[in-house]
Amino acid sequence: MTTHVKAVMFDWAGTVVDFGSFAPTTIFVEAFKREYDFDISLEEARVPMGLGKWEHIQAVGALPEVDSRWQTQFGQSMQKEDIDKIYQTFMPLQVKKVAEHADLIPGAKEVIDGLREKGIKIGSCTGYPRVVLDELIPAAKNKGYSPDCAVATDDLKAGGRPAPYMLLQNMIELAVDEVKACVKVDDSVPGITEGLNAGMWTVGLLLSGNEAGLTQEQFEHADEATLAAARVKAQDAFAHSGAHYLIDTIADLPGVIADIEQRLANGERP
Protein backbone atom coordinates (compact mmCIF):
# COMPACT_ATOMS: atom_id res chain seq x y z
CA MET A 1 0.00 0.00 0.00
CA THR A 2 1.31 3.42 -1.00
CA THR A 3 1.88 5.66 2.02
CA HIS A 4 4.14 8.32 0.51
CA VAL A 5 3.74 11.05 -2.09
CA LYS A 6 5.88 10.22 -5.11
CA ALA A 7 5.57 13.39 -7.20
CA VAL A 8 4.29 16.95 -6.96
CA MET A 9 3.36 18.72 -10.20
CA PHE A 10 3.46 22.50 -10.00
CA ASP A 11 2.01 25.20 -12.18
CA TRP A 12 4.46 28.02 -12.95
CA ALA A 13 3.20 31.64 -12.79
CA GLY A 14 1.54 32.44 -9.48
CA THR A 15 2.56 29.09 -8.02
CA VAL A 16 6.36 28.84 -8.02
CA VAL A 17 7.39 32.04 -9.85
CA ASP A 18 5.82 35.42 -10.63
CA PHE A 19 3.95 36.34 -7.45
CA GLY A 20 0.45 37.47 -8.45
CA SER A 21 0.75 35.95 -11.94
CA PHE A 22 1.42 39.27 -13.64
CA ALA A 23 3.47 38.12 -16.65
CA PRO A 24 0.52 36.75 -18.65
CA THR A 25 -2.21 39.11 -17.43
CA THR A 26 -0.49 42.43 -18.11
CA ILE A 27 0.54 41.26 -21.58
CA PHE A 28 -3.02 40.19 -22.44
CA VAL A 29 -4.10 43.76 -21.70
CA GLU A 30 -1.28 45.11 -23.86
CA ALA A 31 -2.02 42.74 -26.76
CA PHE A 32 -5.70 43.72 -26.97
CA LYS A 33 -4.69 47.38 -26.90
CA ARG A 34 -1.94 47.10 -29.51
CA GLU A 35 -3.85 45.01 -32.05
CA TYR A 36 -7.34 46.53 -31.81
CA ASP A 37 -7.02 49.63 -29.61
CA PHE A 38 -9.45 47.80 -27.32
CA ASP A 39 -9.29 48.08 -23.55
CA ILE A 40 -9.71 45.18 -21.16
CA SER A 41 -9.06 45.42 -17.43
CA LEU A 42 -6.50 43.39 -15.54
CA GLU A 43 -9.40 41.75 -13.70
CA GLU A 44 -11.01 40.69 -16.99
CA ALA A 45 -7.68 39.34 -18.22
CA ARG A 46 -7.44 37.21 -15.08
CA VAL A 47 -10.83 35.47 -15.35
CA PRO A 48 -9.85 32.50 -17.57
CA MET A 49 -6.31 32.13 -16.18
CA GLY A 50 -4.91 28.61 -16.43
CA LEU A 51 -6.14 27.90 -19.95
CA GLY A 52 -3.89 27.78 -22.97
CA LYS A 53 -3.24 31.31 -24.20
CA TRP A 54 -5.26 31.13 -27.45
CA GLU A 55 -8.18 29.68 -25.48
CA HIS A 56 -7.62 32.35 -22.84
CA ILE A 57 -8.06 35.15 -25.39
CA GLN A 58 -11.18 33.44 -26.71
CA ALA A 59 -12.59 33.19 -23.19
CA VAL A 60 -11.86 36.84 -22.41
CA GLY A 61 -13.66 37.85 -25.59
CA ALA A 62 -16.67 35.78 -24.54
CA LEU A 63 -17.05 37.51 -21.17
CA PRO A 64 -20.41 39.34 -21.34
CA GLU A 65 -18.95 42.73 -20.45
CA VAL A 66 -16.10 42.38 -22.94
CA ASP A 67 -18.37 41.00 -25.67
CA SER A 68 -20.76 43.92 -25.22
CA ARG A 69 -17.97 46.50 -25.57
CA TRP A 70 -16.50 44.60 -28.54
CA GLN A 71 -19.85 44.58 -30.33
CA THR A 72 -20.26 48.30 -29.67
CA GLN A 73 -16.81 49.00 -31.11
CA PHE A 74 -16.78 46.53 -34.01
CA GLY A 75 -20.41 45.64 -34.71
CA GLN A 76 -20.11 41.93 -33.97
CA SER A 77 -18.69 39.50 -31.43
CA MET A 78 -15.03 38.54 -31.56
CA GLN A 79 -14.25 36.19 -34.45
CA LYS A 80 -11.61 33.49 -34.80
CA GLU A 81 -9.45 35.75 -36.94
CA ASP A 82 -9.56 38.39 -34.19
CA ILE A 83 -8.35 35.83 -31.65
CA ASP A 84 -5.59 34.79 -34.04
CA LYS A 85 -4.41 38.38 -34.49
CA ILE A 86 -4.38 39.11 -30.75
CA TYR A 87 -2.56 35.85 -30.10
CA GLN A 88 0.05 36.71 -32.73
CA THR A 89 0.61 40.04 -30.99
CA PHE A 90 0.59 38.45 -27.54
CA MET A 91 3.16 35.73 -28.24
CA PRO A 92 6.30 37.79 -29.03
CA LEU A 93 5.48 40.12 -26.14
CA GLN A 94 5.18 37.15 -23.79
CA VAL A 95 8.38 35.54 -25.05
CA LYS A 96 10.23 38.84 -24.64
CA LYS A 97 9.00 39.61 -21.14
CA VAL A 98 8.38 36.30 -19.36
CA ALA A 99 11.94 36.02 -18.05
CA GLU A 100 11.42 39.34 -16.25
CA HIS A 101 8.86 37.54 -14.07
CA ALA A 102 10.97 34.56 -13.00
CA ASP A 103 11.55 35.51 -9.36
CA LEU A 104 10.64 32.66 -7.05
CA ILE A 105 7.69 33.04 -4.73
CA PRO A 106 8.95 33.23 -1.11
CA GLY A 107 9.41 29.78 0.34
CA ALA A 108 9.36 28.02 -3.05
CA LYS A 109 13.01 26.95 -3.11
CA GLU A 110 13.01 25.74 0.48
CA VAL A 111 9.81 23.75 0.02
CA ILE A 112 10.92 22.15 -3.25
CA ASP A 113 14.35 21.31 -1.83
CA GLY A 114 12.57 19.71 1.12
CA LEU A 115 10.38 17.61 -1.18
CA ARG A 116 13.45 16.37 -3.04
CA GLU A 117 15.11 15.43 0.25
CA LYS A 118 12.10 13.17 0.85
CA GLY A 119 12.61 11.53 -2.55
CA ILE A 120 9.61 13.29 -4.12
CA LYS A 121 9.94 14.08 -7.83
CA ILE A 122 9.12 17.58 -9.10
CA GLY A 123 6.97 17.93 -12.21
CA SER A 124 5.44 20.98 -13.82
CA CYS A 125 3.00 22.12 -16.47
CA THR A 126 1.61 25.43 -17.64
CA GLY A 127 -0.79 27.37 -19.80
CA TYR A 128 2.29 28.81 -21.53
CA PRO A 129 3.19 27.39 -24.95
CA ARG A 130 6.61 25.80 -25.41
CA VAL A 131 8.20 28.88 -26.98
CA VAL A 132 7.42 30.86 -23.80
CA LEU A 133 8.28 28.07 -21.37
CA ASP A 134 11.69 27.67 -23.03
CA GLU A 135 12.44 31.28 -22.06
CA LEU A 136 11.15 30.87 -18.51
CA ILE A 137 12.95 27.61 -17.65
CA PRO A 138 16.54 28.99 -17.79
CA ALA A 139 15.49 32.21 -16.09
CA ALA A 140 13.94 30.24 -13.22
CA LYS A 141 16.98 27.95 -13.05
CA ASN A 142 19.15 31.01 -12.49
CA LYS A 143 16.89 31.84 -9.54
CA GLY A 144 17.23 28.34 -8.06
CA TYR A 145 14.28 26.38 -9.51
CA SER A 146 14.62 23.58 -12.03
CA PRO A 147 11.83 20.96 -12.10
CA ASP A 148 12.51 17.40 -13.15
CA CYS A 149 9.92 17.71 -15.92
CA ALA A 150 8.23 20.64 -17.67
CA VAL A 151 5.30 20.20 -20.08
CA ALA A 152 3.87 23.12 -22.08
CA THR A 153 0.27 23.49 -23.17
CA ASP A 154 1.07 22.88 -26.85
CA ASP A 155 3.46 19.95 -26.33
CA LEU A 156 0.71 17.35 -26.70
CA LYS A 157 -1.76 16.81 -29.54
CA ALA A 158 -4.42 15.94 -26.97
CA GLY A 159 -4.42 19.54 -25.69
CA GLY A 160 -4.03 21.40 -22.42
CA ARG A 161 -6.14 22.26 -19.40
CA PRO A 162 -8.61 21.38 -18.05
CA ALA A 163 -7.85 17.98 -19.61
CA PRO A 164 -5.33 15.87 -17.65
CA TYR A 165 -2.85 15.09 -20.39
CA MET A 166 0.01 17.38 -19.33
CA LEU A 167 -0.05 15.83 -15.86
CA LEU A 168 -0.16 12.31 -17.26
CA GLN A 169 2.81 13.17 -19.48
CA ASN A 170 4.61 14.31 -16.33
CA MET A 171 3.95 10.88 -14.81
CA ILE A 172 5.36 9.16 -17.88
CA GLU A 173 8.51 11.29 -17.97
CA LEU A 174 9.05 10.99 -14.21
CA ALA A 175 8.31 7.23 -14.25
CA VAL A 176 5.72 7.58 -11.49
CA ASP A 177 3.34 4.63 -11.51
CA GLU A 178 0.50 5.68 -9.15
CA VAL A 179 -1.78 8.64 -9.73
CA LYS A 180 -2.96 8.56 -6.10
CA ALA A 181 0.62 9.28 -5.03
CA CYS A 182 0.73 12.51 -7.06
CA VAL A 183 -0.22 16.07 -6.05
CA LYS A 184 -1.11 18.99 -8.33
CA VAL A 185 -0.48 22.52 -7.01
CA ASP A 186 -1.98 25.47 -8.89
CA ASP A 187 -3.31 29.00 -8.46
CA SER A 188 -6.14 28.68 -11.01
CA VAL A 189 -9.40 26.76 -11.22
CA PRO A 190 -8.58 25.17 -14.61
CA GLY A 191 -5.34 23.91 -13.07
CA ILE A 192 -7.24 22.35 -10.17
CA THR A 193 -9.74 20.78 -12.59
CA GLU A 194 -6.79 19.39 -14.54
CA GLY A 195 -5.51 17.71 -11.38
CA LEU A 196 -8.91 16.29 -10.50
CA ASN A 197 -9.35 14.97 -14.03
CA ALA A 198 -6.00 13.21 -13.66
CA GLY A 199 -7.12 11.64 -10.37
CA MET A 200 -4.52 13.46 -8.26
CA TRP A 201 -4.65 15.28 -4.94
CA THR A 202 -5.10 18.99 -5.64
CA VAL A 203 -3.89 22.07 -3.77
CA GLY A 204 -5.16 25.55 -4.62
CA LEU A 205 -3.11 28.64 -3.77
CA LEU A 206 -5.09 31.61 -2.49
CA LEU A 207 -2.73 34.54 -2.06
CA SER A 208 0.28 34.10 -4.36
CA GLY A 209 -1.55 33.75 -7.62
CA ASN A 210 -4.13 34.88 -10.06
CA GLU A 211 -7.25 34.96 -7.88
CA ALA A 212 -5.97 37.38 -5.24
CA GLY A 213 -3.90 39.35 -7.74
CA LEU A 214 -1.56 40.77 -5.11
CA THR A 215 1.99 41.81 -5.84
CA GLN A 216 4.64 40.34 -3.57
CA GLU A 217 5.18 43.77 -2.03
CA GLN A 218 1.46 44.14 -1.30
CA PHE A 219 1.39 40.67 0.25
CA GLU A 220 4.42 41.29 2.44
CA HIS A 221 3.18 44.67 3.70
CA ALA A 222 -0.54 43.90 4.03
CA ASP A 223 -2.25 43.87 7.40
CA GLU A 224 -4.32 40.85 8.40
CA ALA A 225 -7.60 42.47 7.38
CA THR A 226 -6.30 43.04 3.84
CA LEU A 227 -5.02 39.48 3.60
CA ALA A 228 -8.28 38.13 4.96
CA ALA A 229 -10.25 40.01 2.29
CA ALA A 230 -7.94 38.74 -0.46
CA ARG A 231 -8.22 35.23 0.95
CA VAL A 232 -12.02 35.36 0.88
CA LYS A 233 -11.98 36.65 -2.71
CA ALA A 234 -9.81 33.72 -3.79
CA GLN A 235 -11.79 31.21 -1.73
CA ASP A 236 -14.94 32.36 -3.53
CA ALA A 237 -13.25 31.70 -6.88
CA PHE A 238 -12.19 28.22 -5.75
CA ALA A 239 -15.48 27.45 -3.97
CA HIS A 240 -16.73 24.98 -6.56
CA SER A 241 -13.33 23.86 -7.85
CA GLY A 242 -13.24 20.64 -5.84
CA ALA A 243 -9.72 21.33 -4.59
CA HIS A 244 -8.72 18.99 -1.76
CA TYR A 245 -6.75 21.75 0.00
CA LEU A 246 -6.59 25.55 -0.11
CA ILE A 247 -3.51 27.28 1.30
CA ASP A 248 -2.07 30.78 1.06
CA THR A 249 1.18 30.10 -0.81
CA ILE A 250 3.61 27.32 -1.65
CA ALA A 251 5.33 28.00 1.69
CA ASP A 252 2.40 26.25 3.40
CA LEU A 253 2.68 23.07 1.30
CA PRO A 254 4.75 20.85 3.67
CA GLY A 255 1.85 20.50 6.10
CA VAL A 256 -0.44 19.48 3.25
CA ILE A 257 2.00 16.83 2.03
CA ALA A 258 2.19 15.41 5.56
CA ASP A 259 -1.60 15.26 5.75
CA ILE A 260 -1.89 13.59 2.34
CA GLU A 261 0.64 10.95 3.39
CA GLN A 262 -1.37 10.27 6.55
CA ARG A 263 -4.50 9.87 4.44
CA LEU A 264 -2.67 7.52 2.08
CA ALA A 265 -1.56 5.47 5.10
CA ASN A 266 -5.22 5.31 6.15
CA GLY A 267 -6.11 3.86 2.77
CA GLU A 268 -7.63 7.03 1.30
CA ARG A 269 -7.17 8.12 -2.27
CA PRO A 270 -8.07 11.37 -4.11
Active site residues: 11, 53
| Phi, psi for 57 (deg, rounded to 5) | -60, -45
**3-class SS at 242?**
coil
Report yes or no: 9 and 101 within 8 Å, Cβ to Cβ: no
**3-class SS at 9?**
strand
